[in-house]
Amino acid sequence: MLCFQSKPKIDPAHAVSIGCVEVSFKCHAAAIIVITTSGLLAQLIARYRPRRPVLAIVRHGKSARKLSVWRNVIALQYIDPIENIWSKEIENRTRFAMDFGKRKGILHQGNLVLHMSCSKQNAGLTP
């Protein structure tokens, strides 16, 4: 189990990342979709070596370039206009990642996908 590989006391971001990777192992998820601004959550998830690709949706090219060096992370820059309603923005970015996954053969009809994002806008891991 991944929880034995980390220090005894860990911060919530690492706990969420470990949980995400362990759930992906147990449910045989086809991919992990991460909506992130800085890319930190995608990096933390990649640190625990998921068996499936991490599709990280970012808005900034700098964040996408930083993620390109991480194993098993596919950084996707989302450039459509920002929606005023956060839930609609999340839905659009998720659809963007799923369409990419289908085009590249990562995702198929009926596959299970894990989705990681903040429930509120501007409430991420970066201080």
Task: Tell me the pLDDT tens digit for each residue of 38-73.
Answer: 899 999 999 999 999 999 999 999 999 999 999 999
Q: What is the CATH number of the domain that holds 75?
A: 3.40.1380.20
35 belongs to a structural domain: yes
5 belongs to a structural domain: no
Residue 8 pLDDT > 90: no
121 belongs to a structural domain: no
Alpha carbon of 27 to those of 69, 78, 116: distances in Å?
27, 28, 15
4 belongs to a structural domain: no
Supply the DSSP symbol for 55: E
What local confidence, expressed as pLDDT, does residue 13 receive? Answer: 86
Per-residue pLDDT tens digits for 29-42: 999 999 998 899 99
Contact by Cβ (8 Å): 35, 83: no
Q: Look up the domain containing 30 and give its range.
A: 13-116
Plot region of 83 (φ>0 → left; ψ -120 to 50 → alpha; else → beta)? beta
Which one is predicted more confidently, 74 or 12?
74
Report the domain count for the chain.
1
7 belongs to a structural domain: no
Question: In 10 A of CB 90, how many CB atoms?
Answer: 18
Reported pTM: 0.86
Main-chain phi, psi angles of 77, to 5 degrees? -90, 120
Main-chain phi, psi angles of 3, to 5 degrees? -65, -20
With DSSP H G I counted as helix, E B as strand and the rest as coil, what are the percentages for the chain, rounded to 5? 40, 15, 45
